[in-house]
Amino acid sequence: MTMNRRDFVKLVGAATGAGLLSFPHIGAAADIMPKTGRRVVVVGGGSGGAIVAKYLRLADPSIEVVLIEADRLYVACPLSNLVLAGLRNLSENVITLVDLAARHKIKLVYDTVTAVDAGAKKVICSAGAIAYDKLVLSPGVDYRFEEIEGYDPASTPGIMPHAWKAGPQTLLLKKQLMDMKDGGVVVMTIPQAPYRCPPGPYERISMIAHYLKQNKAKSKIIVWDANETIAAKAPLFKRGWAKHYGYDEKDSSKGIIAYNGNSKLAKVDVKAMTVDNGVESLKGDVINVIPPQRAGVIAQNAGVVGLDKKWCPVDQISFESTQVKDIHVIGDACFAGPLPKSAYAANSEAKVCALNIVQALNGKELIAPSHVNVCYSYITDKEAVTVSGVYVEKDGKTVAVPNSGGLSPDLNEAEGVYARSWMKNILTEMST
């Protein structure tokens, strides 16, 4: 089964998509937007890009801001795992940037950036070139499909969806779970960290287990995790799985969830519906492969990816690339010390980046940042858990403040309420 963009718009709700596809492109030729004053171009309108564009204009309205985003409908990833359990409608995660751009006088361009000419200080779109004084890249992640034998990015996601970017694949994975027979096996694989949203896979395990418990109690989810153990909130996830899904760490035959660490996916066989870790082969009725990740394609094309060829090293105060001057990288694509790859962190990085770009363009001293991050994860339809942290700059590096943050005390319905409230607030901040 495959799902195209038109099918997706129908599924998230006709009202959400109505009228948006008719907004015109801005610009139509080479050098499509002549520069007359100071300009910052932002590529990517997600949790980082939309916020950095907004706060640049709030900090200094004399600076022209151009925001380039490929998609007219932005689908946020946080809480999208709840869609799999039937606890949330994906349309609740959908926003547009139209009102944000109008309110803050941001020039919004719907286009795909194909290259960056750092020497000429221009981004190259399919419609032409746009000059900049400062460039902010917030491209999210790309996938290292080539590391999984048999995984063809042109066709495999339609059969073994990763759903690690919320949208059509989220709905496809949900439909596969709904269509699976009772007594079926869901297989899920988790890549080696780092990747987008450290606790995300384990929340997904919880949400799939919740769906199975409620609808297909004879079924099971078997997890292969390339990491030694659960990457975040391990005690809370294990406690929640044991409480609600019969998980037994010592006996994987019990309960709905069978979790296996140190089990790195090596290859897939789409026709046979199997995965292989080099030691054993496992067959599934539904297979959710989360691929290993790296910075988005445009970061690679712009030359801001580090020697690891995965992530973008940045100055920890300004988020300026250490590879290319006047290009800043925020969000999942950058390496920001202990700051995780999360929407909450991207929001914080965006505000710090905006402030210090304005400081730099006005010839003022940069301001040392502080950051806060909170990641919410649902265990059931009501109970959730959190991990939080506070971070500061010390000697040019981002460090965690000792004894700050940490795990929530236990499974808690209040955390679930807080999660939905945070999600509503962050989407409002991104879209208005």
CA distance 294 to 56: 27
Q: What is residue 115's predicted lDDT score, i.e. its pLDDT?
A: 95
* Of the residues 255, 275, 291, the one at which a domain ends: 291
Helix (H, G, I), strand (E, B) or coil at 66: strand
Can you tell me the mean pLDDT for 43-61?
Answer: 98
Instruction: Please report the beta strands in 96-248, taking only residues with DSSP state E, as ranges in sequence order.
Output: 107-110, 113-117, 122-125, 128-131, 134-137, 141-143, 185-190, 220-225
Q: What is residue 232's predicted lDDT score, i.e. its pLDDT?
A: 83
Is the same domain home to 20 and 9?
Answer: yes
Work out the pLDDT band at 32, boundaries 50, 70, 90. confident
CA distance 24 to 189: 41
* Residue 51 falls inside a structural domain: yes
* Residue 237 falls inside a structural domain: yes
Work out the pLDDT band at 17, boundaries 50, 70, 90. very low
Write phi, then psi, for 293 (nearest 5 degrees): -130, 165
Residue labelled with tokens 């959400």: 16
Is the same domain home to 312 and 256?
Answer: no
Q: What is residue 173's predicted lDDT score, i.e. its pLDDT?
A: 98
Q: What is residue 129's predicted lDDT score, i.e. its pLDDT?
A: 96
Give residue 121's domain range.
Answer: 5-143+294-368
Q: What is residue 34's predicted lDDT score, i.e. its pLDDT?
A: 87
Q: Is the pLDDT of residue 28 over 50?
A: no
Mind listing the pLDDT tens digit for each residue in 275-321?
A: 999 999 999 999 999 999 999 999 999 999 999 999 999 999 999 99
Q: Is the pLDDT of residue 29 over 60?
A: no
The mean pLDDT of the chain is 93
Q: Is the pLDDT of residue 130 over 50?
A: yes
Q: Is the pLDDT of residue 5 over 90?
A: no
Q: Which DSSP letter does residue 165 get?
A: S
Mind listing the pLDDT tens digit for each residue in 200-233?
A: 999 999 999 999 999 999 999 999 999 999 988 9
* Residue 401 falls inside a structural domain: no
The answer to whether the CB of 50 falls within 8 A of the CB of 430 is yes
Is the same domain home to 164 and 229?
Answer: yes
Q: Which DSSP letter does residue 314 get?
A: B
**58's tokens:** 């709030």
Q: What is residue 30's predicted lDDT score, i.e. its pLDDT?
A: 63
CA distance 425 to 243: 31
**203's tokens:** 């929340």
Mind listing the pLDDT tens digit for each residue in 69-123?
A: 999 999 999 999 999 999 999 999 999 999 999 999 999 999 999 999 999 999 9
* Residue 330 falls inside a structural domain: yes
Q: What is residue 16's predicted lDDT score, i.e. its pLDDT?
A: 37
Is the same domain home to 304 and 364?
Answer: yes
Q: What is residue 21's predicted lDDT score, i.e. its pLDDT?
A: 28
Q: Is the pLDDT of residue 260 over 60?
A: yes
Is the same domain home to 138 and 154?
Answer: no
Can you tell me the mean pLDDT for 151-163?
Answer: 90
Is the same domain home to 100 and 55?
Answer: yes
Write phi, then psi, for 354 (nearest 5 degrees): -60, -45
* Of the residues 368, 385, 407, the one at which a domain ends: 368
Q: Is the pLDDT of residue 149 over 90?
A: yes
Can you tell me the mean pLDDT for 315-332?
Answer: 98
Alpha carbon of residue 212 to chain centroid: 25
Neighbours of 262 (CB within 10 A): 11
**220's tokens:** 């099971």
Residue whose C-alpha is closest to residue 188's, from 278, 248, 259, 271: 259
Is the same domain home to 133 and 65?
Answer: yes
* Residue 339 falls inside a structural domain: yes
Q: Is the pLDDT of residue 184 over 70?
A: yes
Please list, in sequence order, all residues whose beta carbon lies within 8 angstroms of the beta carbon of residue 12, skipping any fewer than 6 positions away. 73, 75, 89, 90, 91, 94, 171
Q: Is the pLDDT of residue 25 over 60?
A: no
The answer to whether the CB of 290 falls within 8 A of the CB of 190 is yes
pTM: 0.93
Is the same domain home to 186 and 134?
Answer: no
Q: Is the pLDDT of residue 20 over 80?
A: no
Q: Is the pLDDT of residue 408 over 80?
A: yes
Q: Is the pLDDT of residue 22 over 60?
A: no
* Residue 396 falls inside a structural domain: no
CA distance 105 to 273: 50
Mind listing the pLDDT tens digit for each residue in 335-348?
A: 999 999 999 999 99
Please list, in sequence order, all residues whose beta carbon lies within 8 angstroms of the beta carbon of residue 226, skipping any fewer than 6 positions away. 189, 190, 191, 192, 262, 263, 264, 265, 292
CA distance 314 to 302: 14
The answer to whether the CB of 209 falls within 8 A of the CB of 257 is yes
* Residue 119 falls inside a structural domain: yes
Can you tell me the mean pLDDT for 257-284?
Answer: 97
Say how many domains are in the chain. 2
Q: pLDDT higher for 20 or 13?
A: 13
* Residue 420 falls inside a structural domain: no
Helix (H, G, I), strand (E, B) or coil at 42: strand
Q: What is residue 139's predicted lDDT score, i.e. its pLDDT?
A: 97
The CATH number assigned to the domain holding 136 equals: 3.50.50.60
Mind listing the pLDDT tens digit for each residue in 386-402?
A: 999 999 999 999 999 99
Q: What is residue 157's predicted lDDT score, i.e. its pLDDT?
A: 84
Q: What is residue 154's predicted lDDT score, i.e. its pLDDT?
A: 84
Give 222's strand partners: 187, 258
Residue whose C-alpha is closest to residue 245's, from 288, 210, 215, 218: 210
Mind listing the pLDDT tens digit for each residue in 416-430?
A: 999 999 999 999 999
Is the same domain home to 205 and 272?
Answer: yes
Is the same domain home to 35 and 79?
Answer: yes
